[in-house]
Amino acid sequence: MPLLTIDQIDLKGKSVILRSDLNVPVKEGRIGDDGRIRASLPTLEKLLAAGAAVVVIAHLGRPKGERKPELSLQPVAHRLSELLGREVLFLPEVDAELPADFAQRGGVALLENIRFESAETSKEESERKELASRLSRFGDFYVGDGFGAVHRKHASVFELAQLLPHAAGYLVESEVKVLESLNGSPERPYAVVLGGAKVSDKIAVITNLIEKVDLLVIGGGMLFTFLAAQGKAVGKSLLESDQIETVNEIMARAAQRGVKVLLPVDVKVAPEFKDLEGRIVSIDAIGEDEMGLDIGPQSAAIYAKALSSARTVFWNGPMGVFEFSNFQEGTRAIATALTEIDGMTVVGGGDSAAAIRALGFKDEQFGYISTGGGASLEYLEGKDLPGLVALQ
Ligand code: ADP
Ligand code: MG
C-alpha cells in the first residue's frame, strides 16, 4: 500500500507530532556531522510553512531508559534552531506543558531524547501503548519522518503513529523511493558492501541479501567473524563466535548461488583500540595481542577493482575505524571506488555518511545518501518495517 504523504494533507492549523531522526554524533555537547538534522529540515519547514505547529520527537544513542545528560537532545535543539532560523522550544520531559498559545502561533518544539523513557523501546506492547498515549496529547496529527528508526517497533515510531491520523514526511518518502528501486530490478552486477561495528545485526541481514546480490564485499568489525569461521586467529579483534555457524551457512549459500564474497587478504592492526600507527599484516598473521582496525591496502585495491564493474552498489558500514586517522584508508578506497562507478550508488548509515564527509567527499559524488543504516538494510531484505507499516 502506498504511503500517504504530507503533500496530500491540509496542514493549516494542525498540531503535528513529527517523529524525526536526529541521531547525530554528539561529543561533550558538540555536534559532529549534522547530516541527519539537515535531512529532516524539508519536512519541518514544509509543516511550518503550511501553518502547522510542530512538536518533534527524536532519540539520541542508546540510553536504555535512563536520563543520561551526555545523550540529551538539548544541543540538537540549539542546532535545529540555528538551521531553521527561529526559536525551538525544548521540552525537557514527556509531561512538560506547551505554552497556551503554541498551536495558534505555529510554534516548534523538540522533546528531550525519547529513549530516556524505558517504555519507548520496551518489549511490552502495553508499556509502549501507554507511552504513546501520553505523547499523543502533543498533537492531533502524526508525521513519520525518522527513517533511521522505522525498523524499530518503538512507541514513538509504531504505536503513536497508529493513535493519530498520519502521513509520511519527505525524508521517509525519498528513502523508500530509492530503496524500492534497488529492490525492484537493480542494474547488474549488483554489489553490497558491508562493514561497521554492529556485527550480529549485519550478519543476520546478509542471509537475506545473499539471495539478491551478485557481489558481497565484507569489511569492518564483522570481517573477523568471517575470518574466524575459516579457522583463522583474529587476536583481540571484534568477534562474535555465536555467529560463526551463520557465517558458514552464508558462505555455502553464496557458493551455491554463484555469489562472489570478498574477504580481505590483509588487515591493519594495533595493540589496542587507539589511534596508533598500526601495522599491516596478512590475515594469517594477526597476533594474539592485536586487533584489526581496518582492511589492508591490498584488500582495498582488490575491493575497488571488483566494484569498478558493478552497476548498482549499496554500501553500509565503514571498512575500519575511520575516526582514527591511521585506520581510514580502507573506507577511503571504497568511497573513491563508488565515486568512479558508472551506475547507481547508495550509501546508508549514520556513521557511513559521517565517514565519507569526514574524509572530504561530497554528497553529490554519490547517487544517494541514506540516513538509515539498519533501516535501509532491513528494507533491502524485504522485511516489513514497523514504522512504515504504521503509516500505511
Ligand atoms: P552505520 O552507522 O553506517 O550503520 P555502524 O554503526 O554499524 O555503521 O558502524 C560504524 C562504526 O564501526 C564506526 O564507528 C567504526 O569505528 C566502527 N568499526 C569499523 N571497523 C571496525 C573494526 N574493525 N573494529 C571496531 N570497530 C570498527
Ligand atoms: Mg552507526
**Amino acid 205: pLDDT:** 82
Residue from 351, 357, 379 to probe ligand 1 pocket by mutation (most atoms less than 8 Å from CB): 351
Question: Which are the catalytic amino acids?
Answer: 36, 198, 350, 374
Q: How far is CA 329 from CA 43, 65, 296, 333, in A?
A: 36, 37, 8, 6
pTM of the predicted model as reported, rounded to 2 decimal places: 0.87
Nearest alpha-carbon partner for 145 in 216, 57, 73, 77: 57
Going by CA atoms, what residue is nearest to atom 9 of ligand 1? 196
Q: CA separation (Å) from 270 to 14, 277, 281, 288, 356?
A: 55, 7, 10, 11, 23
Helices 35-49 and 74-84 cross at an angle (nearest 10°) of 60
Task: Return the residue whose CA atom lies nearest to atom 7 of ligand 1.
Answer: 196
Distance of CA 242 to the CA centre of its chain: 24
179/42 Cα distance (integer angstroms): 20
Place of cell 507499516: 389
Query: What is the pLDDT, as a whole number, of residue 1?
Result: 60
Instruction: Please report the pLDDT score of residue 207 as a whole number.
Output: 87
Average pLDDT, integer, range 134-141: 98
Instruction: Give 222 Cα–ligand 1 centroid separation in angstroms.
Output: 9
With the CA atoms of 193, 371, 134 and 31 taken in that order, what torsion angle do they form, in degrees rounded to the nearest 10? Answer: 110
**Region 263-292 average pLDDT:** 97
- Closest ligand to the CA of 349: 1
How does DSSP classify residue 5? B
Cβ-proximal residues to 85 (8 Å cutoff; 6+ apart), any chain: none
Instruction: Calculate the CA dihedral of residues 127, 131, 134, 139 and round it to 10 degrees.
Output: -140
Number of H-type helices and E-type strands within the chain = 13, 17
Q: At what angle do helices 329-339 and 297-308 cross, to 10 degrees?
A: 20
Q: Is the per-residue pLDDT at 204 higher than 80?
A: no
Ligand 1 interacting residues, C-beta cut-off 6 A: 195-198, 220-221, 238, 292-293, 316-318, 320-321, 323, 349-352, 373
Which of 225, 293, 357 to probe ligand 1 with, by most ligand atoms within 8 A of CB? 293
The mean pLDDT of the chain is: 95
Model confidence over 313-362: pLDDT tens digits?
999 999 999 999 999 999 999 999 999 999 999 999 889 999 999 999 99
| Protein residue with least CA distance to atom 15, ligand 1 | 321
Nearest one of 202, 252, 254, 253 to 224, comparing CA atoms: 202
- Whole-number Å distance between alpha carbons of 111 and 58: 7
The Cα–Cα gap between 61 and 390 comes to: 23
Ligand 1 nearest atom to the CA of residue 294, by list position: 23
- Determine the Cα–Cα distance for residues 345 and 316; give it in Å rounded to an integer: 11
Asked if residues 322 and 275 have their Cβ atoms less than 8 Å apart, the reply is no
What is the position in ligand 1's atom list of the atom closest to the CA of 324?
Answer: 16
